Amino acid sequence: MSSDAVAAFRKSVWNNYEKNGRHELPWRKTKDPYRVLVSEVMLQQTQVSRVMEKYKEFLKAFPIVRTLAKAPLADVLRVWSGLGYNRRAKYLHDAAKKIVKVGTIKKTLEGSLSGVGPYTRAAVRVFAFNKPDVLIETNIRTAFINHFFPSKKTVADKELLPLIKKAAEGQDSKEWHWALMDYGAYLKRLGVRNNHRSAHYVKQSKFENSLRQIRGTILRELQKGSRTENAMRSDLIASRGKLKNALAGLARDGIIVKEKGKWRIV
- Residues with a catalytic annotation lie at 40
CB 214 within 8 A of CB 256: no
- The amino acid that residue 88 corresponds to is R
For 64-86, b where at least 16 C-beta lie within 10 A, e where not — what string? ebeebbebebebbbbbbeebebb
Q: What is residue 236's DSSP assignment?
A: S
